[in-house]
Structure 1
């Protein structure tokens, strides 16, 4: 035990010293452990007291919570019952409203379906009308193409103007009042001759308006081409007017005025609006430019003149018929007078008959009022009176 274990500075440390120091250190450690355990025990006791107090408080709170939970459960059950009844009422009301809305929706759908079918029917009808109109437009477009083809050719264009002019004249006048393509003494053949009344010369009508130059005038683009087209149209129109004057205005054989038929109202309007000098030149040459409407009006005037002439030609026949009519009226007047006298005599005879019947009625009433003895005296008196006055009624 006295063996030196180690040396610290000038001091030697033995095993016994180290053992004693270790034992003291162990003892101190044990004491510390005991004090620490005691402290922990005290702390645990204090904590257990606090815990017990808290447990008591928690138990009180728990009992209060259980009580509140019981009350809450009762309220919840009550509210559940109330909500259950209200929910059933609400479901019933909702079902009723849904049924009503379903019925209204069904009616609305039926009405909408009916209106839709009606609209579709009207749409089909309109589509059918549109289809027919489209077919008509297609036919018209084909006819327009044919018309363009006709107007593109000079001969067919002349035939077109001739046809329009002939249709207007044939619709207004009798066949004996006109002649188509008649030959004059000069060998010229106007498109139509209107025969005037009282032996007057016929009226010549030409239907060959120079539409070629006019079409060039319409299609001209630019000032230079327009001026050239206008000059060409003026030359062609002037030449045509001069040809009508030389060929169809024959003194004593035709009227001193001829008609130039323009088969289009638009061409006639443009001619009078933009080429007034040509219209005046035609008037000076005694050539009247007429459109389809003006030709129809002129033909109507001629028709009235022809009708007046025919009436003047038949005036003596009308006068004779009027004289016969006057004689018939006089005879009718005499016969009516005789019939009136017969009626007057018949009325007079009827008045006499009424007087006799009135007397008979009065005498019958007297007979009814008298007795038998008086009746014999009255009969004797009447017999005597009738014997004395045989002509009395």
Structure 2
């Protein structure tokens, strides 16, 4: 029962009970003949009933006002919650609109990508762009060449310049995707034929790479077939392992962007080791030249030491002669000769 219904039922029940009492009292007094007393008593009862009804009406009004205030507060709270929920719903709708816009943009990009992959020249350019980013990120500038022309007149997408062995390695980025798209779009009954067509196209591409890009004495004994999709490369290895093994026997290794990254990292380490060996050889040559110069310096210092020793000996002999000359001069000064005396004989030495 609602809380507001009880205050309304209480006065009605009280009035009904009072009426029943008055009716019973009148019946009793009528039997006894005391109508006046009954009327007086009835008037008193009615006055008391009126007062009680007034009090009940006042209490009912208070209860109704309290219920109205309570209902108003609850309505305000409900309105506030509704507004907050509406605000959250608007925020979520904004997020959903943004996500929908992103999905539409992504769908447009996917459509553009499908058009690119559907066109053979655009697909080749797309694979070459991926390959270019990988190669230029991992290898030094002098370690590769784009659109290099081999001795047989064939222009390759990329030539990685490794020393012999193994020699320069050619990377081809023009993977055939028509058969793959047909295989993906084929119905269940048409999938075996589509799979055979896909394997045949890949086999022809492997044969072309082996014939054009594997040149004994000029390139390495193998070449790389770059597949610009991890899903296609995984499908090749999982569903056509015999084809992958046949390509390896022909010297064509199938690589995806991730495996190409690992291969380029290994090649980068090999090139760095070769550069270190070349620099070590240059250092060895310079050290040998330095040792030759040190030997030449030792010989010249020894010659200078000999010249210095000879100079010391000559100076000592000169000093000895000077001392002898000084003694002879003193002796000559001490000799007193007569005026007619003959000159003394010249001493030898």
| TM-score class normalised by the smaller sequence | 0.5 to 0.7
1:79: how far off?
2.9
Deviation at 1:94, TM superposition (A): 1.7
Match of 1:94 among 57, 63, 70: 63
Structure 1's 161 and 96: CA in aligned 2 closer, same or farther, altered over 3 A?
same
> 1:88-127 alignment to 2 at 5 Å?
88=58, 90-91=59-60, 93-94=62-63, 97-98=66-67, 100-101=69-70, 105-106=72-73, 108-127=74-93
Residue number among 197, 205, 212 corresponding to 1:247 in the alignment: 212
**CA distance in 1: counterparts of 2:30 and 2:70, whole angstroms:** 58
Q: TM-score, normalised by structure 1?
A: 0.57
Q: CA–CA distance in 2 between the matches of 1:318 and 1:72?
A: 135
Q: Which runs of 5+ in 2 are unaligned?
A: 1-28, 285-349
**Matched-pair contact (CA < 8 Å) for 1:259–1:287:** yes
The corresponding residue for 1:49 is: none
Unaligned 5+ residue runs, structure 1? 1-58, 320-393
Summarize the alignment of residues 228-307 of structure 1 with structure 2, pairs less than 5 Å apart: 228-307=193-272
Q: SS state of the match for residue 187, structure 1?
A: coil
Structure 2 Cα separation of the partners of residues 296 and 165 of structure 1: 10
1:64 aligns with 2:31: no
1:239, 1:86 → 2: CA distance? Answer: 103
Moved more, 139-148 or 258-267: 139-148
Instruction: Indicate if the aligned counterparts of 2:225 and 2:252 stay in contact, CA closer than 8 A.
Output: yes
| The structure with more radius of gyration | 1
TM superposition shift of 1:112: 4.1
Task: List per-residue Cα deviations over 1:184-243 (Å, max 9, x = no partner).
Answer: 1111222111122588622211112222233333334465x5444344333332222122
1:37-92 CA distance string (max 9 Å, x none) = xxxxxxxxxxxxxxxxxxxxxx985832343233222222223233333443x146
Deviation at 1:281, TM superposition (A): 0.3
User: In the aligned structure 1, how far is the partner of 2:254 from the partner of 2:210?
Assistant: 13
3-state DSSP class of the match of 1:75?
A: helix
C-alpha spacing 1:158/1:69, structure 2 compared with 1 (3 Å): same
User: Structure 2 CA distance, aligned partners of 1:235 and 1:112?
Assistant: 70
- What corresponds to 1:193 in structure 2? 159
In structure 1, the residue matched to 2:98 is 132
Structure 2 partner of 1:327: none
Aligned to 1:382: none
The alignment covers a number of residue pairs equal to 256
* TM-score (norm. length: structure 2): 0.63
Conservation of the 8 A alpha-carbon contact between 1:198 and 1:309: no
Q: Distance in 2 between matches of 1:75 and 1:317?
A: 132
The yes-or-no answer on 1:181 pairing with 2:147 is yes
2:174 counterpart of 1:208:
yes
Q: CA deviation at 1:182?
A: 0.6
TM-aligned CA deviation for residue 176 of structure 1:
2.2
DSSP-derived class of the 2:233 partner: helix
Q: Secondary structure at the match of 1:182?
A: strand
2:47 aligns with: 77
1:315 to partner: Cα distance: 4.9
Secondary structure of 2:150's counterpart equals coil
Compute the displacement of 1:170 (Å): 2.2
Structure 1: how far apart are the matches of 2:229 and 2:264? 17
